[in-house]
Structure formats: structure tokens, C-alpha cells
């Protein structure tokens, strides 16, 4: 009996790495095929390219499909590219309809039609039903395997019917009640089924208030519904209320995980499906966009500075201190931006409460601005024994810390309007704004103010 959580993953990776390095491949093979497909997938994702190839070669044929399903898209594609069509078909033919549909969508059309041809009629129709929907919709997430029953039969008949089946579809927590045209009427939970008397009818015990999900709903809304209602599964229907399939919590967990990772990775200009050990050249290409954009904005900031070379020549202390203002603006702005992006993602920040958030963030910016302006004034004045420089930096700081939260709230909302992902573009645009305002404020105020201030404090 296996009574504890699976062996530490780090240990597993280390053990396999060592075994491969010492050449005991038969041992590795035995070890690998005793693992759960999810663990094999994790091991593949944690392996550098050469080791990944060896591990993949050692996996039993019947494990290939389930492992491929568990892999991130990047790693999966790299493995599938090395397989021929026959191998792909063999690997995927026994998968669930939703898993197979997901998988097929990432393949070339010829492979899709070949794979579909190789399947039995019922299985093919199931997969085609799912393939008809975008993979980010309820229709694309659903599995068409489900047990449907009629409302007018007795609990005893249902129990007898189930007993004839060898097993129920995975994650079955309820049976779907439909009429003779397959219209959705409600669900009979297994819990209700088991606590009912045999002579009760399904109609009496079923829950006709259980929500069904329209096939066109977005996967984001589906995930929110599952989270809010603590669901294990939910029926999917078309606009005529015809029952199409079921969405189960395991697929919803994947959506939640992907959405969350998407934010983290996008903010660094990466993709949530990125392979940790991706080959170098594609990585250079992927990261180039981000670095190139940043270089452009850095040169923009440099151009702002170049407009004030005379001012800098007259007080080189400015060259020393000017970087502090955009830097603080970038940090303050990105705090507001992160809060706003999260608020939008979870649906807390909407049009009707934007003004409230803006008010709060601006007051916060004002207090922060005054606070940090005083601190930089003191430090700068003491460091350079020059009140004028201190005043210029402090005033610029106040301006930038007021602009930063404004940009942090407004930017993601504007980007959303233009259908641009705020997590992806927000950070770059924000720091461009805080850099330009920051440098302009420091050097502009210095250019205008320093002559007067120097007179006054001289």
C-alpha cells in the first residue's frame, strides 16, 4: 500500500538523471513506466533536450498518449514533430474526446483527418463534436462521455442500469436527466441517488436548478462558475438546450493554472507554455521582441536626456541623481498596474468602480509623493551640499509619483478596450511613461529652475 505522497519530485529527477548518465537504461525504463503519466510528463519537462530524448524513447507505447496530454504545448510540439503520423495516431487513439480534441488542434490538418479516419464511428463523432468549438470555450473543454437518464424512471431502474456498466465515465458525480429529444432537464447527483428509496422516481429526486453551461461560454467564465459554486462537473448545452457533454473539474483546474501562469509569464514577455529547456535559437527570437521594445523605449528616454545636455554639463550632479526619479515612478506605477490587472482578471475592477480606485490610488500617490520627495530632498541636499538640486529632484519625484498610479489604473483599462493583453504590454508602456515623465521632470525643472534657485540659495 502506497500511503504517502509520491516520492519527492526533485529526487525522482535526480535519480533518473544519474541512471541515464551511468547508462543503466533498463533500470530507467522500468522506473519510468511505473510512474503516473503526469509524473512522466513532469520529468520530461524537467529534462534538458538530450535527456528528454532518451526518456521519451524509453516510455512504453501505451503511455505515450496520456503523457502527451499532460505536457505543456511547447514540449509536446517538439516531441510530436519527431513522430510520424502512424505513431501519433497510435498514441492518441485511446484518449478522452476532450483531451484528443485539444491535442489534435495543435497538429497539421492532414494528421487530424488521418487520425479521425482511424477511429470508430462513435468515438470519431465525439471528437468532432468537441473540435467544432474553439478550445477556449465550454464546447472545446467538454467531454461527450456522460450517463443520461430519463425523468420518468425509478431510482431502482437507474441503479440496475448502472450495475450493468463496467464503470462510469471519470469524474461522474451526477447523472444527466434529459427528455427524449436529449434536451437538458436537470441532474441527479450520485449523492441523491444513493440516499433515495428504490421506488422514488428520478423526477422527484433530480435537481432541475443545476446550472447548465452554454457551449459558447468562455473558458474563463466556466472556471469562475466552477470556483464560485465548488462544482465537480457541469452539463454543457447548445442554444436549444440540447445536452452536448460535461465539463469536469480536472480540465477547469488546468484553465485556472494556465490563466494564473499567463499573468506571471506575460509580464516578463514570456509565454506560459514556454519550455524551461527550449533550444537557444527559438528562445533568442522569442525574447528579442521584448528586449527590442525595451531598447526602443530606453533610447526614447535617452533622447529626452539628450535634450538637456547643457543643463547636465552645468550641474553634473543631475547625471548622478536623475535616474532615481524614473526608477521610483516605475515601481509605484507597477504596483498599481499589478493590482489593476489582477482586479480586471478576477472581475473585481469594472467600469462602475474605476473612479473609486483611481481616487484611492491618486490620494495614495500624493501621500507617497510627498513622503518620498522629502526623503530624496534630504539625502540629495546633504550629498551634494546643494539645496537647489535637492528641491529639483524632490519636485520631480512628486510629479512622477502622481503620474505613476494614474497610468497604472488607466493603462490596463485602455489596453483592454483595444483588445491588447494588459499583462503583456502594460509593464513596458507604463515604464516608458514613467521614464519619460521622470527624466523630463528632473531635467526640465533643472533647466528652468536651477538658475533662479542657485541665485536664491547662493
Q: Which of residues 197-226 bind a second copy (CB under 8 A)?
A: 197, 208-209, 211-214, 217, 221-222, 224-226
Q: Is the dihedral of CA 438, 439, 440, 444 positive or negative?
A: positive
Cell 509569464 sits at which residue? 265
Q: Which stretch binds a second copy (CB under 8 A): 101-109, 304-312, 413-421, 444-452?
A: 304-312
According to the binding rule CB under 8 A, does residue 306 interact with a second copy?
Answer: yes
Cα–Cα dist 72/76, whole Å: 6
Contact (CB, 8 A) for 413 and 343: no
According to the binding rule CB under 8 A, does residue 349 interact with a second copy?
Answer: yes
Cα dist from 278 to 51, 103, 142, 226, 367, whole Å: 13, 20, 31, 34, 45
Q: Show the binding pattern over residues 254-283: x = contacts a second copy (CB under 8 A), - = does not.
A: --xx-xxx-xxx-xxxx---x-xxx-xx-x
3-state helix, strand, coil in the chain (%, to 5): 70, 5, 25
Residue 167 neighbours by CB distance under 10 Å: 7
Give the side-chain half-sphere CA count within 13 A for 201: 6
**Looking only at residues 355 through 414 of this chain, which bind a second copy when binding is defined by CB under 8 A?**
356-357, 360, 363-364, 367-368, 371-372, 375-376, 379, 383
Q: Which stretch binds a second copy (CB under 8 A): 76-84, 111-119, 249-257, 445-453?
A: 249-257
Q: In the complex, what is the shortest distance from the CB of residue 279 to a second copy, in angstroms, rounded to a whole number?
A: 8
> Which of residues 88 and 312 has its CB atom nearest to a second copy in the complex?
312
Of 173, 182, 204, 273, the one binding a second copy (CB under 8 A) is 173
Angle at 134 between CA 87 and CA 69, to 5 degrees: 35
**Looking only at residues 52 through 91 of this chain, which bind a second copy when binding is defined by CB under 8 A?**
70
> Which of residues 124 and 171 has its CB atom nearest to a second copy in the complex?
171
Contact (CB, 8 A) for 443 and 322: yes
> Which of residues 41 and 119 has its CB atom nearest to a second copy in the complex?
41
In the chain, DSSP finds a helix count (H) and a strand count (E) of 23, 6
Q: 3-state DSSP call for residue 123?
A: helix
Of 24, 48, 86, 94, the one binding a second copy (CB under 8 A) is 48
Contact (CB, 8 A) for 408 and 334: yes
According to the binding rule CB under 8 A, does residue 238 interact with a second copy?
Answer: no
Of 127, 178, 244, 301, the one binding a second copy (CB under 8 A) is 301
Of 91, 127, 202, 328, the one binding a second copy (CB under 8 A) is 328
> Which of residues 305 and 403 has its CB atom nearest to a second copy in the complex?
305
> Which of residues 62 and 238 has its CB atom nearest to a second copy in the complex?
238
DSSP H or E run through 288: helix 280-306
Q: In the complex, what is the shortest distance from the CB of residue 352 to a second copy, in angstroms, rounded to a whole number?
A: 4
Of 124, 241, 242, 416, the one binding a second copy (CB under 8 A) is 241
How many residues of this chain interact with a second copy, rule: CB under 8 A? Answer: 140
Q: Which stretch binds a second copy (CB under 8 A): 36-44, 80-88, 105-113, 123-131?
A: 36-44
**Looking only at residues 86 through 115 of this chain, which bind a second copy when binding is defined by CB under 8 A?**
none
Contact (CB, 8 A) for 222 and 246: no
Of 53, 93, 171, 242, the one binding a second copy (CB under 8 A) is 171
Closest by CA to 297, choosing from 285, 287, 305, 307, is 305
Please give the sequence-ordered ranges of beta strands (E in DSSP) within 218-345, or none if there are none: 233-237, 243-248
Q: Which stretch binds a second copy (CB under 8 A): 53-61, 124-132, 308-316, 447-455?
A: 308-316
Amino acid at each position: 500500500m502506497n500511503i504517502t505522497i509520491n516520492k519527492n519530485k526533485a529526487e525522482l529527477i535526480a535519480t533518473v538523471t544519474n541512471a541515464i548518465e551511468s547508462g543503466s537504461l533498463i533500470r530507467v525504463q522500468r522506473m519510468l513506466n511505473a510512474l503516473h503519466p503526469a509524473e512522466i510528463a513532469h520529468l520530461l519537462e524537467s529534462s534538458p533536450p538530450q535527456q528528454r530524448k532518451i526518456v521519451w524513447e524509453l516510455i512504453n507505447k501505451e503511455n505515450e498518449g496520456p503523457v502527451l496530454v499532460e505536457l505543456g504545448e511547447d514540449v509536446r510540439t517538439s516531441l510530436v514533430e519527431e513522430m510520424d503520423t502512424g505513431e501519433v495516431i497510435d498514441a492518441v487513439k485511446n484518449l478522452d474526446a476532450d483531451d484528443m480534441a485539444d491535442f489534435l488542434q495543435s497538429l497539421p490538418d492532414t494528421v487530424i483527418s488521418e487520425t479521425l479516419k482511424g477511429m470508430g464511428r462513435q468515438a470519431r463523432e465525439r471528437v468532432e463534436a468537441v473540435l467544432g468549438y474553439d478550445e477556449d470555450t465550454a464546447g472545446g473543454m467538454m467531454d461527450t462521455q456522460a450517463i443520461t437518464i430519463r425523468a420518468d424512471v425509478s431510482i431502482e431502474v437507474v441503479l440496475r442500469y448502472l450495475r450493468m456498466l463496467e464503470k462510469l465515465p471519470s469524474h461522474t458525480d451526477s447523472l444527466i436527466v434529459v427528455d427524449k429529444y436529449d434536451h437538458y432537464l436537470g441532474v441527479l447527483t450520485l449523492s441523491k441517488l444513493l440516499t433515495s428509496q428504490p421506488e422514488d422516481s428520478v423526477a422527484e429526486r433530480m435537481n432541475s436548478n443545476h446550472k447548465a453551461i452554454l457551449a459558447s461560454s468562455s473558458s474563463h467564465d466556466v472556471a469562475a462558475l466552477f470556483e464560485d459554486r465548488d462544482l465537480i462537473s457541469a452539463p454543457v448545452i447548445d442554444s436549444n438546450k440540447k445536452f452536448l457533454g460535461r465539463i469536469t473539474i480536472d480540465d477547469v483546474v488546468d484553465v485556472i493554472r494556465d490563466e494564473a501562469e499567463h499573468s506571471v509569464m506575460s509580464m516578463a514577455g514570456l509565454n506560459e507554455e514556454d519550455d524551461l529547456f527550449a533550444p537557444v535559437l527559438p528562445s533568442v527570437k522569442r525574447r528579442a521582441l521584448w528586449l527590442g521594445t525595451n531598447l526602443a523605449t530606453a533610447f526614447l528616454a535617452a533622447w529626452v536626456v539628450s535634450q538637456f545636455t547643457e543643463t547636465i554639463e552645468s550641474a553634473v550632479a543631475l547625471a548622478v541623481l536623475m535616474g532615481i526619479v524614473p526608477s521610483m515612478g516605475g515601481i509605484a506605477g507597477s504596483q498599481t498596474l499589478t493590482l489593476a490587472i489582477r482586479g480586471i482578471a478576477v472581475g473585481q475592477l469594472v467600469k462602475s468602480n474605476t473612479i473609486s480606485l483611481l481616487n484611492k490610488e491618486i490620494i495614495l500617490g500624493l501621500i507617497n509623493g510627498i513622503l518620498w520627495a522629502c526623503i530624496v530632498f534630504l539625502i540629495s541636499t546633504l550629498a551634494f551640499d546643494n539645496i537647489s538640486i535637492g528641491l529639483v529632484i524632490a519636485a520631480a519625484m512628486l510629479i512622477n509619483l502622481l503620474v505613476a498610479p494614474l497610468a497604472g489604473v488607466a493603462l490596463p483599462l485602455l489596453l483592454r478596450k483595444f483588445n491588447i493583453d494588459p499583462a503583456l504590454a502594460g509593464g513596458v508602456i507604463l515604464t516608458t511613461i514613467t521614464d519619460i515623465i521622470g527624466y523630463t521632470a528632473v531635467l526640465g525643472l533643472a533647466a528652468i529652475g536651477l538658475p533662479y534657485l542657485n541665485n536664491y540659495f547662493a
